[in-house]
Amino acid sequence: MDLGIHGKTALVTGANRGTGQVIADSLKAEGVKVLVHANSAEDADIVGDLATEEGCEQVLAQLQDTEVDILINNYGTTDFHKWRDTDTAKWLEMYQKNVLSATRLAQGLVSGMKSRGWGRIINLGTIGSHAPGHIMPAYYAAKGALATVSVSLAHELANTGITVNTVAPGLILTREVEESYRARAQKKGWGDDWEAMVVAQDFPNPCGRIARCEEVADLVAFLCSERAAFINGQNIRIDGGAVKYV
């Protein structure tokens, strides 16, 4: 399937590893020129700490002479904070890292997209904003805000040729996730069938497994395409059916 984005230029944040790296590779396979961002890394094209306003400005300054057609706000992070230890600083930290990191870049790049009459903005969310648990409350709140921002921006950019969508994955089998669960499996004596145990205990879903990075990347690439031009302002789950509502 020709996605119609050959020759476009994309910025993928947090793309020096994990899901972001796979998203970057998927876009490259479609003939997209991909700029790989990292907060601080030698293997990135664009560098800047997106958790800060100064870092976002640093990234935008590096893009002054570049026509960015596609913005993939993949960067975002959390820790395993709980309600009892979530203070004001933690709420603000999660908002900076998971909302303002994306909105600042979008604000800096949409004028160029508007002038060319075409653009794609994809924000990486989580099914935790659909069905939040009792841990990581500040992270889920921030990702919920990011999905709201996406809808708002989609309407702000009406009739410009730019679409804005959120992709909300469930648990993804990144290297870090696999290493963590393999260590847990060894401690609990689960054996080699650790993924089935993870699904049963932490992520029950009708597909019976964890998402692969490539599956998330394929959805992102499709939403960037000409074939997805009428998909706009959506928060699309990719969770194997884990969230049980229509």
Output DSSP code: residue 30. Answer: T
Output DSSP code: residue 77. Answer: -
From the number of C-beta atoms within 10 Å of its C-beta (0-12, 13-18, 19+), residue 76 rates as: buried
- Hey, which bits of the chain come out as E strands? 9-12, 33-38, 46-47, 70-73, 119-124, 162-169, 235-238
Cα–Cα distance measured from residue 153 to residue 59, given in angstroms and rounded to the nearest whole number: 21
Residue in 75, 95, 139, 245 annotated catalytic: 139
Cross-strand partners of 148: none
C-alpha radius of gyration, the chain, whole number:
18
Range list of H helices, 63-121: 88-95, 101-116
Active site residue 245: no
From the number of C-beta atoms within 10 Å of its C-beta (0-12, 13-18, 19+), residue 71 rates as: buried
Residues involved in catalysis: 139
